[in-house]
Structure 1
């Protein structure tokens, strides 16, 4: 059976924080939109975002990869969290354009943005990739309140060796939810970018497949 997706397209969106960009990877018979943004240290070329955009449209989920205004402007440093929220809010109406429920998602700093704004924007759920639970080496600076305060179902996909928060460090409401409001999937040995050791038990392709399979199955249950 051949691919069921349409050709990707790109659009720019004016926001109060500057011009953002959405790259659409549409499904022909979509029932959901997954909108995911990048982190503070990279863009939509991240391996997990590329993989989701390639796989999910075949499962009735259109994927919108969102580039924050600071990335579109060519800046190297991300602005303050409040400015990231402003940019995300400004993009949201365009994400609702297809008239489908929208899952707010992001990796790292983008995951924090999705959690902070999910309830006010009416997100259907949140996908948090490599959620930065705390700065490296500073577990006392926990951001768990952002995660737990999303107000919608949340799936966390976390590397087992992520210095910004290993799976066991997450609150019991996330780690032990067992299908509740919060769920967590671990990529064994993965770092903050889901890279795994070359001689580890898990190959890189397998690690990416864990991510796409988990998100595919989770969206099917929503």
Structure 2
């Protein structure tokens, strides 16, 4: 688990009293071990691995989530786990609404009918989905998007341009998430 973004977010959440459990998809572990970057498997091929991670944790009603592909996969299993009483919410960091440079190839069909309370943190410079693009999507009313000004796909802003630091965005994320968690039934 070598994602600097996930480590920083996990630490910021823990600093705000939010317990975090992480797991790594096998394809990411293989990349880390071999040093070879291969394309990821299709999201649909990772659903079982995500479900298994939730089952192994066996921690009651969780808020699940992930960054980029991890958030996409979590969103694809969220309703099933929500209906089963295993999760109470979903958090996505840098959701990949479409492939880079291909805004017509949307990955949002399941998000139109998502029932799980969902909070997406997205940078306004994220090439996988900008505010202008996302505003045109038909998304479920259960989804709330928190935009991080000038954030990229890793939610990092350019301080000289935006005036925000990565730490500012991490604090904002942790505060918004803490408030959102209190709103969940």
User: After TM superposition, is the score higher than 0.5?
Assistant: yes
Deviation at 1:120, TM superposition (A): 1.4
1:219 shift after superposition: 1.2
Query: Structure 1 residue 210: deviation in Å?
Result: 1.7
Q: Is the 8 A contact 1:117 1:150 kept in 2?
A: no
Q: 1:173 to 1:102 in 2, by over 3 A?
A: farther
What TM-score do the two structures reach when normalised by structure 2? 0.82
Structure 1 unaligned regions, length at least 5: 1-42
- 1:54 alignment counterpart: 11
Q: 1:137 aligns with which of 98, 101, 108?
A: 101
Corresponding residue for 1:118? 78
- In structure 1, C-alpha distance between the alignment counterparts of 2:142 and 2:136, rounded to whole Å: 12
Structure 2 Cα separation of the partners of residues 205 and 132 of structure 1: 23
2:73 and 2:98 map into 1 onto residues whose CA distance is 15
Q: Offset at 1:138?
A: 1.4
1:45 aligns with 2:3: yes
CA shift for structure 1 position 173: 7.5
Q: Contact conserved, 2:126 with 2:153, CA < 8 A, in 1?
A: yes
How big is the alpha-carbon RMSD for the aligned residues of Structure 1 and Structure 2? 2.3
**Partner residue in 1 for 2:126:** 162
Instruction: Number of aligned residue pairs: give it.
Output: 174
Q: Distance in 2 between matches of 1:154 and 1:135?
A: 21
Structure 2: unaligned runs, 5 residues or longer: none
- Say which structure is richer in helix: 2
Structure richer in strand, relative to its length: 1
Superposition pairs of residues 91-106 of structure 1, within 5 angstroms: 91-95=53-57, 97-98=58-59, 100-106=60-66
Q: 1:185 aligns with which of 146, 156, 159?
A: 146
Q: Which residue of 1 aligns with 2:29?
A: 72
Deviations 1:118-151 (A, max 9, x none): 1112331110110111112211111122323332
Change over 3 Å in CA distance of 1:151–1:171 after alignment to 2:
farther
Cα distance, 1:54 vs. partner? 2.1
| Distance across 2 between alignment mates of 1:206 and 1:161 | 16
